[in-house]
Amino acid sequence: MLKVTPLSIAAERLRRSEIFGELSETDLAAIAEFCREETYRDGDTVLLEGEPAEIMVIVERGKLALEKKIQIGRHSTPRNATIAYVEPGEMAGFSTLTPPYTYATSAVCLEPARVIAVDGAPLRAYLRTHPEAGFKVMHMQAALISDRYRHATDTLTYFLSIVSHELRGPLAAVENYLQTILGGYAGELNEKQQRMVRRSILRVVELRGLIGDVVDLARMRPEQIQADFEWFDPGEAGTESLEDVRLAAAEKGVRIKVEPPPKFEPIVGARRRMRQVLTNLLNNAIKFAPPDSTVTFRARYEPDALYFEVDDEGPGIPPDDLPHIFEDFFRADNVGETPGTGLGLSIAKKIMDAHSGQIVVKTTTDEGGSGTRFTVIIPRNLQTPEMRRREWSMTSEE
């Protein structure tokens, strides 16, 4: 790295940056005192993820790539992924102003670059002792980060939706052809051929589920889920979930024992999303249950909530992993080669949070048995969008 350190940085050069533009001449002149100019070669690392955030940089010439280490699960190899670019007039290193003052991303030169480096410690000290300037800088930084985050999320969601659409069409066609063959419409199959076709269908269904999980992760927002709230029959949602996993259970030889309440009563929620939660829990139970074991699917009403429970007779979840199982991409230590992305439970948790409900896990080995119990708790006082609008209207009239 080549460095040039002039006696001072002109205040006007700071004014062209993203977060200092609203400051007074006096503030800019003061901040310029602890700035310096630096130049970098193509491929140089300007900021390093995980290191103390000592400077923030304003790009004047060249282009930086913001990179972040991505790790899918605890046992995979971390890889650097480019998540954004920083061009002239833009800034990097906002962690310099935010505890714990550690860089959240790396910044790498894509071409020779000239930057203004702002020393973090004196900048923080100045903003603390000049609250008006501090408020302006933090306000601009918050707006800027929010805009970048929204842009990145929208781009990711759009990209994933396009990829999802392009992949789901061919997968649906393959599944339909396989179902047709399995049904004997293309000729009679012997037992071995039927078993191979069933397994092929399961793999296609798993792949379709993986694609759906990745797309859902990008667009799983509470307001979107709540916009779909409606009255629905939870018994029908449960029956559909059982149908979703029927083939997987039969292929593995797992029995599903159903214990419904005497009568299902309508409830408010996002029907499709609730089916997704139940299907996910049943799929997990079947996936980790030993062959010829039983998965129990029960439901019961309490005064304030509807409870769904899924019990399996699998190995259970290691105690050290229990606090982490609802994290994105997390997979327990004992899953072995069982396929999955580690997204199903985190998505289920997001869905239940949007319902103001809960999803609770318990290893039933504590009760002298074996396996795991997941409990879904759905409040019975949720409102549809129309009910909320009506209530708001009545409150406004009063």
How high is the pLDDT of residue 340?
60
Residues 193 and 232 in one domain: no
Element at 26 (helix H, strand E): helix 25-32
Cα gap 219→226, rounded to integer Å: 13
CB-hemisphere CA count at 13 Å for 200?
17
How high is the pLDDT of residue 5?
41
Find the CATH number of the domain harbouring 342.
3.30.565.10
Cα gap 148→91, rounded to integer Å: 11
Which of 90-104, 136-150, 273-287, 383-397 is the least confident region? Answer: 383-397
Residue 299 neighbours by CB under 8 Å, 6+ apart: 234, 235, 238, 259, 260, 261, 264, 306, 307, 308, 309
Element at 211 (helix H, strand E): helix 191-219
Q: From residue 277, how far is each of 229, 260, 302, 377 by CA, in Å?
A: 15, 17, 20, 11
- Adjacency order of strands within the sheet including 255-259: 255-259, 294-301, 305-311, 372-379, 358-363
Residues 70 and 162 in one domain: no
**Residue 345 within a domain:** yes
Average pLDDT over residues 86-108: 94
Number of residues that this document lists for the chain: 398
* pLDDT digits 0-9 by tens, 109-127: 999 999 999 999 999 999 9
> Does residue 290 register a pLDDT over 50?
yes
Which of 45-54, 323-332, 389-398 is the least confident region? Answer: 389-398
How high is the pLDDT of residue 43?
94
Cα gap 279→208, rounded to integer Å: 14
**Residue 134 within a domain:** no
Residues 372 and 282 in one domain: yes
Residues 158 and 40 in one domain: no
Q: Which of 18, 24, 3 is nearest to 115 (CA)?
A: 3
> Does residue 71 register a pLDDT over 70?
no
Confidence of residue 206 (pLDDT cuts 50, 70, 90): confident
Residues 17 and 97 in one domain: yes
**Residue 194 within a domain:** yes
Q: From residue 308, how far is each of 113, 133, 215, 238, 359 by CA, in Å?
A: 58, 54, 26, 9, 9
Element at 324 (helix H, strand E): none
- Structural domain of 74: 2-129
How high is the pLDDT of residue 72?
55
Show which of 199, 219, 239 is a domain's final residue: 219
**Residue 342 within a domain:** yes
Show which of 77, 94, 129 is a domain's final residue: 129
**Residue 394 within a domain:** no
* pLDDT digits 0-9 by tens, 246-273: 988 988 899 999 999 999 999 999 999 9
Q: For strands 255-259 and 294-301, give the pairing.
A: parallel
Total number of domains in the chain? 3
DSSP code at position 327: S
Find the CATH number of the domain harbouring 85.
2.60.120.10
Higher pLDDT, 292 or 320: 292
SS3 14: helix
Q: Which residues pair with 238 in a beta bridge?
A: none
How high is the pLDDT of residue 338?
61
Which of 46-60, 211-225, 252-266 is the least confident region? Answer: 211-225
Residues 110 and 257 in one domain: no
Residues 200 and 107 in one domain: no
Show which of 219, 235, 263 is a domain's final residue: 219
**Residue 188 within a domain:** yes
How high is the pLDDT of residue 288?
86
Residues 212 and 101 in one domain: no
Question: Chain-wide mean pLDDT for the chain?
Answer: 86
Residues 161 and 247 in one domain: no
> Does residue 285 register a pLDDT over 60?
yes
**Residue 143 within a domain:** no
Angle at 195 between CA 193 and CA 196, to 5 degrees: 65
Residues 265 and 125 in one domain: no
How high is the pLDDT of residue 336?
56
Start-to-end CA distance of the chain, whole Å, equals: 68
pTM flag (> 0.75): no
Yes or no: say if 113 and 61 are a contact pair by the CB < 8 Å rule.
Answer: yes
How high is the pLDDT of residue 182?
87
Q: Which of 116, 49, 121 is nearest to 89 (CA)?
A: 116
* pLDDT digits 0-9 by tens, 329-359: 777 766 655 656 668 898 899 999 999 999 9
How high is the pLDDT of residue 121?
96
**Residue 142 within a domain:** no
> Does residue 11 register a pLDDT over 60?
yes
